[in-house]
Amino acid sequence: MAKKNKSWEHRLAGSPDELAMNFVESLSYDKRLYKYDIVGSIAHSAMLADVGLITKKEADQIKKGLLEVAEEIEAGKFRFDIVYEDIHMAIEAALTAKIGDAGKKLHTGRSRNDQVATDMRLWMRDEIASLQGKIANLQKAFVALAEKYTDDVMPAYTHLQRAQPVTIASYLLSFVEMLARDHCRLSNCSAIMNVSPLGCGAVAGSTLPLDRNNTAKRLGFDGIMNNSLDGMSDRDFCAEFIFDCSLIATHLSRLAEDFIIFSTNEFDFIRVADKYCTSSSMMPQKRNPDMLELIRGKSAGVIGCLTAMLTMLKGQPSTYNRDMQEDKLHVFRSADTVSASLEMAAAIVSNMEFKAEKIAAGMDNGFLDATALAEYLVSKGMPFRQGHGIVGAAVAACEKAGKKLADLSIEEFKKFSNVIDKDVYSYLGAAGIIKKYATEGAGGVKQAKKQITFWKKKLAKI
C-alpha cells in the first residue's frame, strides 16, 4: 500500500498509488538543487520577517533549521524520500519536523513554481562560472602547446585538402578563439537570466505585501522579473544555456575529429598520450584515441538535449505546466557532459605532442605555396585573376613533370610570365611563406607570437 503523499494537494481525495508517485517525482534528480533551495528559503524567510508576516524569532528558527538540514545533506545523513516528490517539499518537511509551526510559515506567499525557477537560476549562475573556469583551463592548455610550435609549419586544410601553410601555433590558437566565444556566450546567458522570479507565486503573485526587491538583493540578482505570469514560467534561460553547451560540445567535437585524423598512421601529425588511448582486445598494435572519440560522441547527447528542451517548450500553453519538471534533466545532462568533456580535452591537449619535423618533411606535397606565388604576381602589378590563372597553369605543368613550384628554373617560370624574377623563390616553400604573412591574424610566425602574448595576458586574469 502506498504511503501518504504529504505533498499531494488537499483538494484531492485519498492518496495516489505507488506508480503515480514514481512517475511524478523529481527528487531523484532535483536534489542537487538543495543548496540553492535552502539559500532561497533563508532569503524568503528574512524578507517575510522584514515585512512583518513572520516574527524575527521565527525567521531565525527557520534559518537555523535550514542550515541543519544542509549539514545533514552534506554529511550524507539526510533521507531523500520520494513521497515528498521534489527537493522543495523534502526540505520543507524536514524543517517542519525540526522546528514545528514556524516551518509551516516558510511557504507564505510562495509557490513551488517560483521557488524552482529561482533555484534553477541560482544553480545556473554557479554552473556557468564553473564551466567558464574549465574553458579557460583548456584555453591555457592550447596556448602553452602553441608556444612550443611558433616556428613550426603544418598544412591548413579546406575541404580536407591541403590549402596553405600555417604555423602549428596558429592552428592551435584557432581553438582558443572558438572557446573565447563560448566563454562570452555563457556570460551573456548569465547576465540575461540574473533576475529574480521569487514572489511571482504560482502565476499571479500574491495579495500579501511581499518585498520582491528585498529577496532579489539578498540572492545577488540584478533585479526582478516584471511580470509574474512570465516570471515563474520562463525557461528561455534553460534553452539558452543548453544551446551554449551545445556549441561548446560542437567545438570540442571538431577538435576531437581533427586530433583523431591527425593521430592516424596516414597523417601521423600528433601523438596522443598513452593514458588517453586504449588498446584493442584483439589487435595488439592498436592505440585507439577513445577519449577523443567519446568527446565527439557525447556532443550528440548535448545537441539532443537542446532539441528536447525546445520541443518541450514549444508545445506548452502559457504559464506553468508540469512539463517544465523535465527541463532539469536536459540542463543537468548538458552541463555534466560539457564539464567532463572540457576537463578531458584540457588533459589531452596538455599531454599532446606534434611531430613537427615529420610534418615539415612532407610540406612540399600539395603545392601549398601556390597562393603565395599568385600574390607575388600581384605585387608585380598583375591583376589577381590573371595571376591566379598563370599559377594554375604552372601547377598543372609541375604535376605532369613531377616537380614542385620551387623546382622550376627562372627560364621555366618566364614561360608563364615575364614579370617573374629571381626574388620569386623567397615566396616558395612553406618555411618561407609562414614568415611572409603580413595580415593581422594570419597563420604566420609573427602573428602567432603576438596572439600568444595577448592570450597569456588575458587568461592570466581568469
Q: Which sequence positions are flagged as catalytic?
A: 159, 280
Cell numbers for 354: 606534434
Q: Which residue has the cell 615529420?
A: 358
